[in-house]
């Protein structure tokens, strides 16, 4: 799969369609760039563009967009609600696939240098690309905004990282950074700007200052008013989704709004959002309201509904969720997305992959799928009302095993290819031999780890499969028999893929440890399958 970097430049123009479209076109026309989203804010007078590509492509795309903005945007006449200090106000790079934060830092430095030398403008580095702690936070760099920039550029402590320290009135300055996913998330209120800002001060980490911190970590927020929608917003950035979730911010704002007797009327995600963040929202409300929602897209719809993400415009998952938006840009799991016929033919082809490991993962996932189907056909039906609670608890577990096993179909093939690539490395010198042996060991350990995951993920389904077998729809007994056997054969097939690779490991203690662990997993599968088949046989009698 190709390397993928996301670039999210924010331009200080949200009211002139011709300018907004010209910048968008410059990105679309850049080779290797895929424009995913254009989020226009009229009151903020700001447009956020989101596009992806390989590292060199996104740098070129960002530069092409900046060149257009340099000709068409004049900061000396700009007015808007959003804090800003430049025509291309901020330009972050974010790792998406097969890339790291270091790759993004490299992109930020290359782009910052090109921007400064091409347009002769001041450029600051922020986030992970910052060269000092004072410049890591964007609000610090942008403090004083455009009106204070002439004075700031003369301050020795705030000389630009790249480019001129002279004030360019039409452009201002640009902050270029590298960061993890940041969610720009706004919550709508029927209130004044001041009331929204009061809530923002309560929830944001900085609060009202050092002595009066806010309640939520890694949240930046202000309050503003949108004239075109006749409502206010708590406008926030969630800078670490591992610390503060979208639903936590939404619930905290709702709590403060209720205390002030202010209605919350939906919310808005600016740019794109990771699927995981949306599913976390859904899971929160599923748990809170004791809902039964299994399908991924149903969970996405639930999150959209509970947060009111359609309130200011249609929230289209295919365009707003990054994994869906880039799905046609080299699919994450190509084998898992093939038709049955194509997959079977690919197994039969004259190539070592996909082979027994991928087929084992597929068979195991089908076993979990059959158990899921049997559970679904036992839920929500009048004649099976007595087992509804059991099904609500059991179905998600077998469904989760099914979903976890699907990507392993591809990972098994990828792991084997890593070992095959190592075999092709040069071995003329002692140094080359050492590097080759090290790479071969890494490949073998990876080739062993994936089938061990297949065994573990398959075994996670047994407990719930047993519950479904004991009390589920009798019309599905044969399906459950096949399902149990598929899970067992998936584990057995994965075991064979481990066994065939074990001799390549020279560390005897490691080899024995892996073998013992795998044999224990196999026994778990054999015992569980036997028990379920006996249960089903007795129910048939």
Active-site annotation, residues: 82, 412
Phi-psi region of 176 (alpha: psi -120 to 50; beta: other; left: phi over 0): beta
Angle between helices 430-459 and 508-540 (to 10 degrees): 20
E strand or H helix at 222:
strand 219-226
Which tokens in the block code for residue 223? 């309050």
Question: How many C-beta atoms surround the C-beta of residue 343 within 10 A?
Answer: 18
Question: How many C-beta atoms surround the C-beta of residue 257 within 10 A?
Answer: 21
CA distances from 326 to 4, 282, 540 (A): 10, 22, 48
Within 120-154, residue ranges assigned H as helices are 138-142, 149-154
The total number of residues shown for the chain amounts to: 541
Which tokens in the block code for residue 384? 């099976």
Residue 252 half-sphere exposure toward CB, CA atoms < 13 A: 23
Q: What's the rounded Cα separation, in Å, for the pair 269 and 236? A: 10
3-state SS string for 483-520: HHHHHHHHHHHHHHHHHHHHHHCCCHHHHHHHHHHHHH
Spell out the residues 6+ positions from residue 58 whose beta carbon is closer than 8 angstroms to its own.
5, 6, 7, 32, 33, 51, 52, 93, 107
Strand partners of residue 192: none
Q: What's the rounded Cα separation, in Å, for the pair 135 and 126? A: 5
CA distances from 253 to 282, 301, 536 (A): 18, 22, 51
Q: Can you tell me which residue has the tokens 């997959």?
A: 343
Strand partners of residue 95: 5
């Amino acid at each position: 799969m190709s390397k993928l970097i996301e670039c999210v430049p924010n331009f200080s123009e949200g009211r002139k369609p011709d300018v907004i479209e010209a910048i968008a076109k410059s990105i679309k026309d850049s080779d290797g760039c895929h424009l995913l989203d254009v989020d226009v804010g009229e009151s903020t007078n700001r447009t956020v563009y989101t596009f992806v590509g390989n590292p060199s492509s996104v740098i070129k795309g960002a530069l092409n967009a900046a060149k257009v903005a340099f000709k068409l945007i004049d900061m000396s006449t700009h007015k808007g609600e959003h804090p800003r200090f430049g025509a291309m106000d901020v330009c972050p790079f974010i790792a998406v696939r097969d890339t790291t934060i270091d790759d993004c830092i490299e992109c930020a430095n290359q782009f910052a240098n090109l921007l400064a030398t091409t347009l002769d403008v001041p450029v600051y580095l922020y986030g992970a690309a910052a060269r000092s702690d004072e410049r890591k936070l964007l609000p610090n760099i942008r403090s004083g905004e455009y009106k204070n920039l002439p004075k700031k550029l003369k301050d020795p402590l705030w000389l630009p990282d790249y480019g001129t320290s002279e004030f360019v009135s039409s452009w201002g300055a640009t902050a270029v950074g590298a960061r993890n996913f940041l969610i720009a998330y706004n919550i709508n209120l029927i209130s004044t700007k001041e009331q929204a800002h009061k809530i923002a001060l309560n929830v944001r980490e900085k609060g009202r200052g050092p002595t009066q911190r806010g309640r939520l970590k890694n949240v930046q927020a202000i309050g503003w008013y949108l004239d075109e929608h006749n409502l206010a917003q708590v406008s926030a950035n969630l800078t670490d989704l591992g610390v503060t979730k979208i639903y936590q911010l939404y619930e905290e704002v709702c709590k403060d709004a209720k205390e002030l007797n202010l209605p919350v009327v939906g919310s808005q995600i600016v740019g794109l959002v990771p699927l995981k963040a949306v599913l976390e929202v859904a899971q929160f409300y599923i748990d809170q309201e004791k809902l039964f929602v299994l399908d991924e897209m149903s969970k996405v719809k639930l999150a959209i509904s509970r947060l009111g993400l359609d309130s200011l415009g249609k929230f289209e998952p295919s365009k707003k969720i990054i994994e869906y938006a880039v799905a046609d840009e080299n699919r994450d799991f190509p084998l898992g997305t093939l038709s049955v016929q194509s997959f079977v033919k690919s197994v039969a082809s004259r190539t070592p992959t996909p082979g027994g490991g991928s087929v084992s993962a597929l068979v195991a996932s089908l076993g979990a799928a059959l158990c899921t189907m049997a559970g679904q056909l036992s839920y929500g039906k009048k004649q099976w009302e007595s087992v509804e609670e059991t099904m609500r608890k059991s179905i998600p577990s077998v469904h989760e095993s099914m979903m976890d096993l699907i990507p392993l179909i591809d990972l098994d093939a990828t792991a084997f290819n890593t070992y095959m690539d190592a075999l092709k490395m040069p071995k003329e010198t002692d140094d080359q031999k050492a590097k080759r042996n090290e790479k071969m060991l890494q490949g073998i350990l990876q080739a062993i780890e994936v089938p061990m995951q297949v065994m573990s993920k398959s075994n996670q389904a047994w407990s719930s499969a047993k519950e479904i077998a004991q009390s589920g729809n009798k019309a599905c007994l044969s399906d459950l028999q096949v399902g149990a056997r598929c899970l067992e054969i998936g584990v057995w097939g994965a075991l064979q893929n481990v066994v065939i690779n074990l001799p390549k490991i020279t560390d005897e203690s490691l080899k024995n440890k892996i073998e013992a662990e795998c044999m224990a997993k196999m026994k778990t599968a054999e015992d569980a399958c036997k028990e379920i088949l006996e249960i089903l046989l007795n129910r048939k009698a």
